[in-house]
Chain A
Amino acid sequence: MASHALGVTGTYPLVLTLWLLPLLGAIICWAFGPQLRTMSGWLASALVGISFVLAVASWSDATQGAGGTLGAHQPLASWLPGFDFGLLLDPLSLIWTFIITGVGFLIVFYSIGYMDGDRAFARFFAYMSFFVFAMLTLVLSDNFIGLLVGWGLVGLASYFLIGFWFERQSAVAAARKAFVINVVGDVGMMFAIFLIVANVHSINFGAVFAAAPALSAGVLFAICVTLFIGAAAKSAQIPLHTWLPDAMEGPTPVSALIHAATMVTAGVYLVARCAPLWDHSHGAQLLVGGIGAATALVGAILGTAQWDIKRILAYSTMSQIGYMIMGVGVGAYEGGIAHFFAHAFFKAQLFLGAGLIIHALADEQDIRAMGGLRRRMPFAFWVMLTAVLSICGVPGFSGFFSKDAVIYGALQHGHPWVYATDIVTAGITAYYMFRLLFVAFLGEYRGEAAQARAAAEPARRPHAPAWIMNAPVAVLIAPSVAIGAVLMFGGENSPWQRFFAPLFGATSSRAIALPPVSEGVTTLLVFITVIIGFAIAWQRYATRSAQADAVARLRRESERMPALLTNLLYFDWLIERLFVRPAQQLGALFGRVLDPHVFDGAVRDLVYWARWLGTLVRSFQTGLVRAYALILVAGAACFIVYYAVAAGVR
């Protein structure tokens, strides 16, 4: 078992700087946006890029020390005893920082092209920089309160960016939905912190994890569950996943950065960070593993029924995060994090590729109105193809190594049902990803009508040079293809496993002794299901006969879509019935009963009595001098009687 004490305490200007630089960018872009104009994009991406360089430069600091003091710890502020704030850069937060700043840099750079001509160009980059800062706060904090602050700030940034085009009603609604569900998660985490403070009297990771083995099973389970509520809301796990597909209303780079690569994986980070808690609570492992697997399956199933290219990717994101959560939940931390790492690349690539298509087709997102794009946009095709191969886990690509690690990890840690679910999900993943690829890129172009409409409008945005958008995507291809082979090949002795060994300890010490199925067989099983999924997709969308009457077939398919799938398995419906309507009815009840009759009623009664008193007093104010004299005399008479009685006259 690894010790999770804090790292080597000292002064790490690199860490401090890489944390604050995006904030600086956000402030500058926010304050001087109108003056900077397009410069704001270059500035924001430059600052995020510098952060990435600094993160790489901090490598030796982050991996220094061992055992009790792994990583670099920079104190920031002291509050009460046991409540110190600081930054912690250890292997885990280093990996996340790499993705946040590295992939973040590519996506922000890409946005310079994607957002070109937008009215609120600088505002977009201010929000993006702010998001990067918030996310860094989340992963660099060395305590639960800092984590919660980052947790809330990324939710806020996500809200800003989903609702970026706030002229659109749907964007505003989606932003609100995302924010509300995220706040549910924040409240869950808050209760987790209450429990932790009440039982451990500290918020620092080191102290809490050191105290974890001593906590009673019930308390530990409660902490894990409340923490996981936060993780589930942020990472779109069942049943708090419904905001993620709607969040695609934001600009595509936002979807790539926030709703694919970084923010939605915060739940994975949280569970991995709190590994010592999960290690000691078998119930929590079972719960989180089960929910992760269910999310993976549900996301994949729903992904098969979507036509909007970004929504397909959103459900695939949800499904892949299900894999990660499942991995870290059952204890296969290295596998879950590896899948996060690989996923960040290929999913960003998918989204940015989709962004290329959407940008080129004047905001067309429906794959039924695409088709034949392989010849029109060969670069986008190759980008999407490599990413799809990677996400499906085709041997040799990054996704293959990470996904296998996760799936096999479930079995290694004794969860055969989760394992089986994951293998099925892998097949479905292959089906819907290749479906996307075939429908959008093969056959004949079907979007003439839509394009004619778009062409009738005046050109909305002057297009920036293509290389600004193509270059980041091209850079992403390399890691999404090769990073698995480089880092994760070699089982126990892979560089990846050795990198995390100081943090999580050796895998063999946590896994069960002898899994019933070997890793090689697992790979084979996954590969077979992927082939099946691919074959079905090929049969339905890619064969010559299927492409001959593609328009009619696609329309027929959309019409015959099972109600269960078009209604997204009734999750929204259930939430609406179980929570939203009762809440609205409660509010209406308050509005009808409590507010007018209790709160307003109290105020009205007060007003009534004040007025009554005023009327009473005013009735003495007759303006008649004689009436005043009368009152004066009556008062004098009262005095006379009083003194007479007081003097004892009888």
Chain B
Amino acid sequence: MVVPIGDYVALAAVIFFIGVFGVIVRRNPLIMLMSIELMLNAGNLLLVAFARLWLQNAGQIFAFIVITVAAAEAAIGLAIIVTTFRPERFVDVDDVRSLHG
């Protein structure tokens, strides 16, 4: 391990705060969700780096669990977005007649 652990921590911190920025500044719910993914990945990076530092694979396992939770969270979040922001709810194309004269 040639790279000092402090560099990993700094890198993770930078990515995490970029994610924070994204959540706060952006208004697009999709990009906000992606920012959250960024933050989770920053956390994962720390876990993996420290697992390597102390040669304990519990950190990797935890990162694995975080990935599953992130997947679940993305699924739920996207479902909410779809439910909330979907402008047209009809499935019958015949009913979409906003343009008729």
Contacts and interface: CB of A to CB of B under 8 A. Distances in A.
Q: Is there direct touching of A and B in the complex, by C-beta distance under 8 Å?
A: yes
Interface of A: 625-626, 629-630, 633
Contacts of B32: 625-626
A156 B76 CA distance: 76
B20 A629 contact: yes
A625 B24 CA distance: 9
Contacts of A630: 24
Interface string B41-84: 00000000000000000000000000000000000000000000
12 contacts: A625-B32, A626-B23, A626-B24, A626-B25, A626-B27, A626-B32, A629-B20, A629-B23, A629-B24, A630-B24, A633-B20, A633-B24
Q: Which 8 A-B pairs have the closest CB atoms?
A: A629-B23, A630-B24, A633-B20, A629-B24, A626-B24, A626-B23, A633-B24, A626-B27
A643 to B, nearest CB: 14
Interface string B2-41: 0000000000000000001001110100001000000000
Interface residues of B, number: 6
Contacts of A633: 20, 24
A622 to B, nearest CB: 13
Most central of A625, A629, A630, A633 by chain B CB within 10 Å? A629
Nearest to A625: B32
A418 B45 CA distance: 113
Contacts of A629: 20, 23-24
Secondary structure call for the B interface: helix
Contacts of B25: 626
Interface of B: 20, 23-25, 27, 32
Nearest to B21: A633
Given A626-B27, A629-B20, A630-B24, 9 more contacts: A625-B32, A626-B23, A626-B24, A626-B25, A626-B32, A629-B23, A629-B24, A633-B20, A633-B24
Contacts of B20: 629, 633
Nearest to B13: A640
B24 to A, nearest CB: 5
A259 to B, nearest CB: 84
Nearest to B36: A629
Nearest to A626: B24
B72 to A, nearest CB: 19
Contacts of A625: 32
A626 to B, nearest CB: 5
Nearest to A630: B24
Contacts of B27: 626
Nearest to A633: B20
A36 B32 CA distance: 86
A554 B27 CA distance: 102
A626 B36 CA distance: 12
Contacts of A626: 23-25, 27, 32
B85 to A, nearest CB: 13
B13 to A, nearest CB: 10
A92 B61 CA distance: 102
B28 to A, nearest CB: 11
A339 to B, nearest CB: 98
A630 B91 CA distance: 38
A604 B27 CA distance: 42
A630 B32 CA distance: 13
A484 B15 CA distance: 118
Contacts of B24: 626, 629-630, 633
Contacts of B23: 626, 629
Nearest to B25: A626
A626 B24 CA distance: 5
A625 B23 CA distance: 9
Nearest to A624: B27
B46 to A, nearest CB: 15
A647 to B, nearest CB: 14
A186 B5 CA distance: 90
B14 to A, nearest CB: 14
A633 B25 CA distance: 12
Nearest to A629: B23
A629 to B, nearest CB: 5
A628 to B, nearest CB: 10
B80 to A, nearest CB: 11
A625 B81 CA distance: 13
B76 to A, nearest CB: 15
A620 to B, nearest CB: 15
A633 B21 CA distance: 10
A608 B18 CA distance: 42
A625 B35 CA distance: 14
A626 B32 CA distance: 9
Most central of B24, B27, B32 by chain A CB within 10 Å? B24
A627 to B, nearest CB: 9
Most central of B23, B25, B27 by chain A CB within 10 Å? B23
Nearest to B29: A625
A630 B24 CA distance: 6
A629 B32 CA distance: 11
B57 to A, nearest CB: 28
A307 to B, nearest CB: 91
A624 to B, nearest CB: 10
A641 to B, nearest CB: 14
A625 B28 CA distance: 12
A380 B41 CA distance: 115
A331 to B, nearest CB: 98
A626 B25 CA distance: 8
A630 B23 CA distance: 9
A572 B84 CA distance: 81
B36 to A, nearest CB: 10
B81 to A, nearest CB: 12
B27 to A, nearest CB: 7
Nearest to B20: A633
A285 B88 CA distance: 104
A626 B35 CA distance: 12
B30 to A, nearest CB: 13
B84 to A, nearest CB: 11
B52 to A, nearest CB: 24
B40 to A, nearest CB: 15
Nearest to B23: A629
A629 B23 CA distance: 7
A528 to B, nearest CB: 113
B87 to A, nearest CB: 20
A606 to B, nearest CB: 37
Nearest to A640: B13
A193 B14 CA distance: 85
A625 B32 CA distance: 10
A649 to B, nearest CB: 13
B93 to A, nearest CB: 34
A326 to B, nearest CB: 96
A629 B25 CA distance: 10
